[in-house]
Structure 1
Amino acid sequence: MLTVGDKLPNFKLKGTVSLEKNKEFQDISNDTYKGKWTVLFAWPKDFTFICPTEIAEFGKHNKDFQDRDAQVLGLSTDSEFVHHAWRTHHPDLKNLPFPMLADIKRELSSALGILHKEEGVALRATFIADPEGIIRHVSVNDLSVGRNVKETVRTLDALQTDELCPCNWQKGEETLTSKLQKAG
């Protein structure tokens, strides 16, 4: 699995971006949002139980990510048409403000190293990459455990300080770097 310090792989995938006729799909690549932080999160399968809770929660926090100059990208091994059908029929997913990427050939999931060994679907992985595409954070949950989107926002905040941030640090609090500078 790729980890902190690695570069996000190059990719070009179909993204489900809208329910509006003739505007449903768009090619999305690692260059589409060049110069922004990237929050890429993967889920195992559409039309399941835990996945929509996570996807909807990322949608609810999309403005938080935008305020931090970060683009959220969702990813699964389902097709863009399955993503579209799910968005059409699930009330919490209808108005998602970020692309749902279709990795049907499993190229990006394989390059990231996040395919479940038995199931062949993406694990619940979250990657935060800086504007140069360098991975700065990775977390992976088992298929049965949803992630904490607020923790992803907190981690992005900490990374963007480019300072030493202690356990449970929250945006606006003093960093260890600033405490050391005061003490020095």
Structure 2
Amino acid sequence: MAKIGDTLKPFTTQAYHQGKFVEVSDADVKGKWAVFFFYPADFTFVCPTELEDLADIYPKLQDMGVEVFSVSTDTHFSHKAWHDSSEAIGKINYYMLGDQSHTIANNFDVLRDGQGVADRATFVVDPDGVIQVLEQTCEGVGRNAAELLRKVKAAQYVRANPDEVCPAKWEEGEKTLAPSLDLVGKI
């Protein structure tokens, strides 16, 4: 799997976005914060619950300058059909990338060997195209969008304040830490 510090690799694909088919590439991501939200397949079970949860916080992420790209190895046509037929998926306003060529899943190294579907994985990429946060869960374990939102806030805070770090359970506005020799053994 791609690692913290890896850089976004080139890709171009078709996506379903707000009632239209659009082309999306790595060039569209550069210069902004982005979430790549991989899931195994359209018309499944855990996936729609996660995508709906993400749709609910999408306006907050947009307010923070973050764009969201859900990615599966399905086509953009399948994404549209799912969007039109599912109440949960119908809430989505972020980009739904089709990756039938497996380019994006291979770029992030989340393609399941011999299965042609992506693992359940999330990557937060900074404006320089560098992975700052990643999460991967097994097939039956869904992700929590509120926790993703917290991690994005922390990543943005640390980028803006490079001499500080965010401790466990940190929430926006709470105390951070300034790593120093004085803190060693005192926490």
Q: Which residue of 1 aligns with 2:118?
A: 122
The answer to whether the Cα contact below 8 Å between 1:18 and 1:95 also exists between their aligned partners in 2 is no
Task: Tell me the alpha carbon deviations over residues 72-121 of structure 1, each in whole angstroms, 9 at most, x when there is no partner.
Answer: 11000000111110000001122411010000010110121101225331
Q: Which residue of 2 aligns with 1:144?
A: 140
* TM-score, scaled to structure 2: 0.89
Q: Which residue of 2 aligns with 1:173?
A: 174
Distance 1:167 1:94 in 2: 34
The answer to whether the Cα contact below 8 Å between 2:83 and 2:89 also exists between their aligned partners in 1 is yes
Distance 2:115 2:139 in 1: 10
Distance 1:161 1:80 in 2: 34
* Matched ranges for 1:103-122 at <5 A: 103-122=99-118
Q: Aligned to 1:71, which of 67, 74, 94?
A: 67
Q: Which residue of 2 aligns with 1:41?
A: 37
Task: Tell me the alpha carbon deviations over residues 3-31 of structure 1, each in whole angstroms, 9 at most, x when there is no partner.
Answer: 10000111111010133xxxx20001122
In the TM superposition, structure 1's runs of 4+ consecutive aligned residues that sit over 3 Å from their partners are 178-181
Amino acid at match of 1:58: L
Q: Aligned to 1:88, which of 62, 67, 84?
A: 84
Gaps of 5+ in 2: 159-163
Amino acid at match of 1:164: V
Q: Which residue of 2 aligns with 1:5?
A: 5
SS for the counterpart of 1:172 is: coil
Length, aligned pairs only: 177
Distance 1:95 1:157 in 2: 23
Amino acid at match of 2:165: L
Gaps of 5+ in 1: none
Q: Does 1:17 align with 2:17?
A: yes
Distance 1:172 1:119 in 2: 44
Q: Aligned to 1:98, which of 94, 102, 107?
A: 94
Amino acid at match of 1:105: S
Higher mean C-alpha deviation, range 102-111 or range 27-36: 27-36
Amino acid at match of 2:13: L
Q: Which residue of 2 aligns with 1:160?
A: 156
Q: Which residue of 1 aligns with 2:27?
A: 31
Amino acid at match of 1:7: T
The answer to whether the Cα contact below 8 Å between 2:29 and 2:129 also exists between their aligned partners in 1 is no
Q: Pairwise CA RMSD of aligned residues?
A: 1.7
SS for the counterpart of 2:71 is: strand
